[in-house]
Structure 1
Amino acid sequence: MPAPAPRKNHKVLGRLSLPERTFVADALRTETVGGVLLLAAAIAALIWANTPIRESYESVRDFHVGPAALGLDLSIEHWAADGLLAVFFFVAGIELKRELVAGDLKDPRAAALPVVAALSGMAVPALVYTLVNVTGGGSFDGWAVPTATDIAFALAVLAVIGTSLPSSLRAFLLTLAVVDDLFAILIIAVFFTENLNFAALGGAAVGLGVFWLLLRGGVRGWYVYVPLALVIWGLMYNSGVHATIAGVAMGLMLRCTTRKDEGEQRSPGERIEHLVRPLSAGLAVPLFALFSAGVAVSGGALGEVFTRPETLGVVLGLVVGKAVGIFGGTWLTARFTRASLSDDLAWPDVFAVSSLAGIGFTVSLLIGELAFAGDKALTDEVKAAVLMGSLIAAVLSGVLLKIRNAKYRRLWEDEERDEDLDGIPDIYEQDNPAYHLRMAEIHERKAAEHRRLAEVTGGASEENDGPA
């Protein structure tokens, strides 16, 4: 009886396929720009809230607007958190759907790595927060605050430090953030929903059903879907379930596969994401940051961040819990699936990216508001802790990535090289005989040009050189 064939070893964080690489590059380009705007908005909020014009910040943030009869007489701060972030979660829903049907999460074996890493990267920070508050006698209400990763802010840090991070690590960070967003949504829906209004919830469910039927029927036109989406959002808000759940539910309903028999170049989900992502990254998230990150920061307040158990738990959860959780989950997945790390990378690279995931700005601020809604002072202190933890994680990961930046730059140049100018990086054509034929022709043409140049300049060169 022949011995069973050995299980084939596979690579962790290996090179992406060309279509996946193109998608990741396009998605991250928008997220990076949005991240820079997010960073600018956070800085503007901190300056506005810590200068003599602080009262104007509070007046604008607390100004109420909206139809009270519909239960939507909300402050600007709430409109940003409950309204604008619904757009952010709508895009997150589309990203998740695409990953499930056409991306890394489609293949269970490939999906194991980001899913386990994301789960570990949420469980360990929650555990760190809980342990700190058990020993310090603090409140357990904020256990979920350090569990979130802010992909836009993380990419802004990459843009600032200028690292040429390989596409495989960027894709890992993006997929990790998508799975992270999914579980953050579940946390919000399960743990921060109180006093359900079943009539409004039923109305929202009916609205989502109509939305799905219209999509299935091929109905087109923003004038149909935008008003319906607003109605669904309003009903979801009044139901007691956080209104951002409406956004992700509608995003998940979009079709994210192309119909080749109908000549589709891009799926409806991809087209809509392309239209809405700039609105999310360039407007919705920065405005949320502007009206959520404006907390009073002083020497005494920053000192309390490291002495109060609730805030210390948030900082340690983001800085230590995220890095240890994601790195540990990745290593364990590789260890027990007999996988090996890509030859181009080393485990310190994975740890650096895991540290970068400790930037938990947007969703962490949102969960902090929900967790300590009845205590304004503690809410502001937790926000300060989120800012401090995200800043420390950004600096730590920036230093770790800078150490390896020369290596990353070489990998990036290899990925981008296109000597035959056909629009496809050479690294993806190395097994194609036609590619080698083209390269041979290019090299022969260059050699011929050098020979002609030598013939033209050879006489002058010999005169100048003199006898050997």
Structure 2
Amino acid sequence: MSNKPLNSFKISRFINEEAYGGIMLIIATIIALIWANSSFYDSYHYVWHDYKVGLVWGEIDLVASLHHWINDGLMALFFFVVGLEIKREVMGGELSSMKKASLPIAAAVGGMLLPATFYAIAVINYPEYINGWGIPMATDIAFALGLLAMLGSRVPLNLKIFLTALAIADDLGAVLVIAVFYTESIDYNELLYAGLCLTIMIIANFAGVRRTVFYAIIGFAGVWIAFIYSGVHATIAGVLIALTIPARTKISESDYIDKISQHLNKFKLEKPDEKSTLLTKKQVHVISDIEDLNKNAHTPLQKLEHALHPVTAYFILPVFALSNAGVHIDGKVIDMLIHPISIGIICGLVLGKFIGISLFSRLMVKFKIASLPEGVSWNQIYGVAFLAGIGFTMSMFISDLAFKDESFKQIAKVGIMMASLLSALIGMLWLGLTSKK
């Protein structure tokens, strides 16, 4: 039985969720900007930065601002879903073989190296700003896919798949950058404890433990809390926990087909009374057996991804935008835009992403290491390369880690929004003019 139609359906569903999530991100961003630049600015700052929530239990003190919990808590769940997506793509998706993965991975590498280089060149005379080099490396998949979906049939499904694979590879790069370069001090005892918990989860995976509650308890109480105290950003815990989630079915595809056929035959043979609207007892048992069979045919990884992806697209990312995009602009927006940090981010996201993705893709095809996706033109690759310059969510997240000074963070966020807007406009205009209906 071919999985191609099913995979296409899953990809279309994923893209649609990202598209609607992108719209909600835009709405949340507009609300945040209006709120932060209105007479209610004090309430914006109080709600997200001054209002403290959490719990204290013995020596464990988990009390912090809502902004902190969104960035360290909700975003850890977002990165958990990113980890599930990465594992799924590596095991059976667009990153599962070198033939499939080489082009989007190379494009992602180019789309990270050149933006970081452009930023470094822009701030070369200002060493105090150099730590922001990671900000223009990221791509916001929700925004990018949301805009691409607006073009409808003008762009082929394979182009959307290419952008999805590129963005997931890009996310993996961002995770590594955060883990390696944006961690200041490390408590190795906490990391050792987290590693022990991860080892238990991996052993449980190989032992056949499939209950998601088990992984949730060990992952939260063990890994995530240990990372909170370790100094390594808690979002990395989300990715590592995701990699331990079982990705194997309990029953093979052929056995599933055979058994489901047997159950359906049993169901047909049991005919209820024509006057009754109720099923027979045997039919009820058959339905129960089919439900158990369906559970065994699912992988915990795919069940979790299926359940959590809408949560991240429709709730976590819009809430992140609402709490992070509220840049208070006090009439100095021009000064903020011509600041070296902003110039570096704009050059990195708009030019660096475009040149890096286009150049590395061209080289891969020229040297016959990879080939263009079927039905996709070079003009469409160039359009996607511009759309990949929409850094927004991930770039804002990294900017909070890169800078301690609040004014630097505000300047960076203005640069991110301007760069993302320019990349979106150029990318949509390019694709609109070069893609036929």
- Equivalent residue for 1:48? 35
Within-5 A mapping of 1:306-345: 306-337=337-368, 341=372, 344-345=375-376
Of 47, 52, 55, 1:60 maps to 47
Within-5 A mapping of 1:183-202: 183-202=173-192
- Equivalent residue for 2:146? 156
**CA separation of 1:75 and 1:336: change in aligned 2, threshold 3 A:** same
Task: Tell me the distance in 1 between the aligned counterparts of 2:363 and 2:157.
Answer: 22
- Equivalent residue for 1:457? none
Residue by residue over 1:364-406, the C-alpha shift from the partner in whole angstroms, topping out at 9 and shown as x without a partner, is 111101100x20111111011111111111111111121134x
- Equivalent residue for 1:368? 399
Task: Tell me the distance in 2 between the aligned counterparts of 1:327 and 1:140.
Answer: 25
Superposition deviation, residue 194 in structure 1: 1.8
Superposition deviation, residue 64 in structure 1: 1.5
Within-5 A mapping of 1:400-415: 400-405=430-435, 407=436, 409=437
- Equivalent residue for 2:420? 390
Question: For the pair shown, which has the larger CA radius of gyration, 1 or 2?
Answer: 1
Task: Tell me the distance in 1 between the aligned counterparts of 2:399 and 2:153.
Answer: 31
Are 1:251 and 2:242 an aligned pair? yes
Superposition deviation, residue 19 in structure 1: 4.2
Residue by residue over 1:411-433, the C-alpha shift from the partner in whole angstroms, topping out at 9 and shown as x without a partner, is xxxxxxxxxxxxxxxxxxxxxxx
Gaps of 5+ in 1: 1-15, 410-468
- Equivalent residue for 2:309? 277
- Equivalent residue for 1:260? 252
The answer (yes or no) to whether the contact 1:138–1:309 under 8 Å persists in 2 is no
Within-5 A mapping of 1:45-444: 45-62=32-49, 63-68=51-56, 69-134=59-124, 139-160=129-150, 164-231=154-221, 232-258=223-249, 259-260=251-252, 263=256, 265-297=297-329, 299-301=331-333, 303-337=334-368, 341=372, 344-372=375-403, 374-405=404-435, 407=436, 409=437
Residue by residue over 1:265-304, the C-alpha shift from the partner in whole angstroms, topping out at 9 and shown as x without a partner, is 4322111100111111111111111111111135522x12
Task: Tell me the distance in 2 between the aligned counterparts of 1:52 and 1:129.
Answer: 35
Task: Tell me the distance in 2 between the aligned counterparts of 1:90 and 1:106.
Answer: 19
Of 15, 28, 34, 1:28 maps to 15
Residue by residue over 1:206-226, the C-alpha shift from the partner in whole angstroms, topping out at 9 and shown as x without a partner, is 222222233333334444333
The answer (yes or no) to whether the contact 1:101–1:257 under 8 Å persists in 2 is no
In structure 2, what residue type is equivalent to 1:176?
L
**CA separation of 1:342 and 1:292: change in aligned 2, threshold 3 A:** closer
Task: Tell me the distance in 1 between the aligned counterparts of 2:374 and 2:328.
Answer: 47
The answer (yes or no) to whether the contact 1:137–1:309 under 8 Å persists in 2 is no
| Matched residues, number | 390
Higher mean displacement: 173-182 or 59-68: 59-68
In structure 2, what residue type is equivalent to 1:314?
I
Task: Tell me the distance in 2 between the aligned counterparts of 1:87 and 1:72.
Answer: 17
In structure 2, what residue type is equivalent to 1:51?
S
SS of residue in 2 equivalent to 1:297: coil
Superposition deviation, residue 342 in structure 1: 5.4
User: Aligned-pair RMSD on alpha carbons?
Assistant: 2.1
Superposition deviation, residue 306 in structure 1: 3.3
Superposition deviation, residue 138 in structure 1: 6.1
TM-score, normalization by structure 2: 0.84
SS of residue in 2 equivalent to 1:28: helix
Task: Tell me the distance in 1 between the aligned counterparts of 2:395 and 2:156.
Answer: 27
In structure 2, what residue type is equivalent to 1:34?
G
Residue by residue over 1:82-136, the C-alpha shift from the partner in whole angstroms, topping out at 9 and shown as x without a partner, is 1111111111111111111111222112211111110000000001001111256
**CA separation of 1:102 and 1:125: change in aligned 2, threshold 3 A:** same
Gaps of 5+ in 2: 257-295
The answer (yes or no) to whether the contact 2:123–2:340 under 8 Å persists in 1 is yes
Residue by residue over 1:11-49, the C-alpha shift from the partner in whole angstroms, topping out at 9 and shown as x without a partner, is xxxxx9544322211211222222221221111111111
SS of residue in 2 equivalent to 1:106: coil
Task: Tell me the distance in 2 between the aligned counterparts of 1:317 and 1:176.
Answer: 17
Task: Tell me the distance in 1 between the aligned counterparts of 2:218 and 2:89.
Answer: 26
**CA separation of 1:298 and 1:326: change in aligned 2, threshold 3 A:** farther
In structure 1, what residue type is equivalent to 2:92?
A
Superposition deviation, residue 343 in structure 1: 6.6
% identity of equivalent residues: 37
Higher mean displacement: 19-28 or 240-249: 19-28
Task: Tell me the distance in 2 between the aligned counterparts of 1:337 and 1:87.
Answer: 39
TM-score, normalization by structure 1: 0.79
**CA separation of 1:260 and 1:56: change in aligned 2, threshold 3 A:** same
**CA separation of 1:375 and 1:338: change in aligned 2, threshold 3 A:** closer
Task: Tell me the distance in 1 between the aligned counterparts of 2:215 and 2:91.
Answer: 23
In structure 2, what residue type is equivalent to 1:281?
A
Residue by residue over 1:137-156, the C-alpha shift from the partner in whole angstroms, topping out at 9 and shown as x without a partner, is 76211000000001011122
Task: Tell me the distance in 2 between the aligned counterparts of 1:111 and 1:178.
Answer: 11
- Equivalent residue for 1:4? none
The answer (yes or no) to whether the contact 2:158–2:375 under 8 Å persists in 1 is no
In structure 1, what residue type is equivalent to 2:323?
F
SS of residue in 2 equivalent to 1:66: strand
The answer (yes or no) to whether the contact 1:71–1:238 under 8 Å persists in 2 is no
SS of residue in 1 equivalent to 2:117: helix
Task: Tell me the distance in 2 between the aligned counterparts of 1:71 and 1:381.
Answer: 32
